[in-house]
Structure 1
Amino acid sequence: MTAGLHAERVSWSAGGALILDGVALAPRPGTVTGLLGPNGSGKSTLLRVLAGVLAPDTGVVTLDGVPLADVPRRTVARRVAVVEQQADTQVELTVADVVRLGRIPHRRAWTPASTADEAAVRSALERSGLADKAHRLWHTLSGGERQRAQIARALAQEPRELLLDEPTNHLDIQHQLELLDLITGLGLTSVVALHDLNLAAAYCAQVVVVRRGRVVAAGTPDEVLTEELIADVYGVRARVSVPEPGERPHIRFLGTLARDSREP
């Protein structure tokens, strides 16, 4: 049986437009896979298909070899956690309240939190560095703290797979690095959509590049993030440093390419 969360030749359309076209994705257990591509390439849609929020038109997403559609929703919710780009609420919730939402898949309706639930919440707060902010109101948090709270909520689910949609958006450099340090230190099978290629190169064990809904490259950052691929997919001239053994590549952007010089 194939372990983990896999997509096999997945396609999905909306309004007659093909958004995903035969996508395959097989994250390595316990590592971070970066999902890269220009705006509109299908990254967010692919994450929603992997989470079971959208059903593929063709192909299949499997969890431990079982089609996701055949896995009970509560089981999926316990195994797979999702962190959206942005989250907000008009309700005055504390950070601990937000994190407790991650325990919903483990509880029956209308039952009070158990000792195990509260232990999971405390652990998630500690792992995300928010234990000292448990009683702070959500709306008083900074952007970086809100993202950490969202990850803490996901951790409270006690998942094995974690899907994150551009979690570094709108964060300053320090908070971007702190957030990715947190994600890579979790030891979960994570798929994270990113725009910053240097962050992907620095933090991801493997990367998958999508363009117009199709996978155009997949592998380790030093294999995939070449000057040729960056020019072809992003329309940008770049210089990619050749890493020494054990090091990650670094990308220096030099400017955009003329549109007519790119592959149509």
Structure 2
Amino acid sequence: MSGLGADRVVRRVDGRVIVDGVTLAVDAGETVGLLGPNGSGKSTLLRMLAGVLAPSAGVVTLDGRPLPEVGRRATARRVATVEQHAHTQTELTVRDVVALGRIPHRRAWTPASEADARAVTEALDRTGLTGLADRSWHTLSGGERQRAQIARALAQEPRELLLDEPTNHLDIQHQLDLLDLVAGLPVTTVVALHDLNLAAMYCDRLLILRTGRVTAEGTPGEVLTPELIAEVYGVRAEVTHGPGYPVIRFVRGVTGVGAGVR
């Protein structure tokens, strides 16, 4: 099996099951969205896919090999991660931040190579950050910081990209700009999102989690129904299919179990 995948992975913390038997196979070039309420296990699943957390049971594989067998450095060369928030107390320029993506490709204490410099320059250009390369990280807006984190991930030259709530705290324009950027990248993407309409617009396939388990999987048109939205989120919604993907409109003042089904 090629690419990144999870086979019946479980993650337990202090006796509590956070992710419960999730299986996921991602096709090359596909964008898969992870949806579900807070606490449904999206971030934990992404961290297991990245190899940051080990499953309590089940296995995460890369090209059919378990991640521990692949190794941390080899995995980091293939799989890049963009977390919800990135902070540093160190005074770094944007170029410095993006250059961190080259660490998996270099031996310790070795200077940057021409290939490293080229990868950083291309990542800055692709994300529209060339003009900000010498700016301090601390002076950037939220949207610029997210783009810098994506540039850092691109400098890794990954084949798989994992993003955890990349649109959080961004205004609508920057949400759309960022997801347009991600959608145009030549990588396989798994992205956790809260906004159902953004997921419908930008994802090829959706995996819906609830209390750590898969509730539904399929295309946005198959998955995003009023019944499922009511079951998973406890709200009533109307779903139309205008521009080639579902459009969700929430009904004000109607919440609770069974809210979405007349």
The question of a shared fold, defined as TM-score above 0.5 by the shorter chain, is answered with: yes
Quote the residue 1:201 is aligned against: 200
The one-letter code of the counterpart of 1:250 is V
Root-mean-square deviation (Å)? 1.3
The one-letter code of the counterpart of 2:14 is G
What's the CA shift for 1:262? Answer: 6.7
Quote the residue 1:219 is aligned against: 218
Deviations 1:183-229 (A, max 9, x none): 00002110000000000000111111000000111111000000100
The one-letter code of the counterpart of 2:83 is E
Quote the residue 1:259 is aligned against: 256
Q: Determine the C-alpha separation between the residues in 1 that align with 2:119 and 2:194.
A: 32
What's the CA shift for 1:31? Answer: 1.8
The one-letter code of the counterpart of 1:122 is T
Quote the residue 1:71 is aligned against: 70
Q: Determine the C-alpha separation between the residues in 1 that align with 2:54 and 2:197.
A: 32
Deviations 1:11-39 (A, max 9, x none): 11001101011001112211211100000
Quote the residue 1:40 is aligned against: 39
Alpha carbons 1:208, 1:217 under 8 Å: kept: yes
Quote the residue 2:110 is aligned against: 111
Residue 227 of structure 2 is aligned to residue 228 of structure 1: yes
Alpha carbons 1:10, 1:56 under 8 Å: kept: yes
Across the two proteins, how many residue pairs are aligned to each other?
260
| 1:241 match: secondary structure | strand
Q: Determine the C-alpha separation between the residues in 2 that align with 1:262 and 1:111.
A: 59
What's the CA shift for 1:80? Answer: 0.4
Please give the residue correspondences for 1:1-12 in structure 2 after superposition, counting only pairs within 5 Å: 2-12=1-11
The one-letter code of the counterpart of 1:249 is P
| 2:246 match: secondary structure | coil
Q: Determine the C-alpha separation between the residues in 1 that align with 2:258 and 2:147.
A: 42
Quote the residue 1:140 is aligned against: 139
Alpha carbons 1:8, 1:59 under 8 Å: kept: yes
Residue 209 of structure 2 is aligned to residue 210 of structure 1: yes
The one-letter code of the counterpart of 2:245 is R
Deviations 1:75-122 (A, max 9, x none): 001000000001011111000000000000000101100000000000
Change (3 A) 1:170 1:185: same
Change (3 A) 1:256 1:44: farther
Q: Which 5+ residue runs of structure 2 have no aligned equivalent?
A: none
Q: Determine the C-alpha separation between the residues in 1 that align with 2:20 and 2:197.
A: 27
Q: Determine the C-alpha separation between the residues in 1 that align with 2:258 and 2:248.
A: 21
Alpha carbons 1:9, 1:58 under 8 Å: kept: yes
The one-letter code of the counterpart of 1:150 is Q
Q: Determine the C-alpha separation between the residues in 2 that align with 1:121 and 1:102.
A: 8
The one-letter code of the counterpart of 1:231 is A
Taking structure 1 as the reference length, what is the TM-score of the superposition? 0.96
Change (3 A) 1:259 1:94: same
Alpha carbons 1:222, 1:243 under 8 Å: kept: no
Moved over 2 A (4+): 255-263
Q: Determine the C-alpha separation between the residues in 1 that align with 2:195 and 2:219.
A: 16
What's the CA shift for 1:255? Answer: 3.2
Alpha carbons 2:127, 2:148 under 8 Å: kept: yes
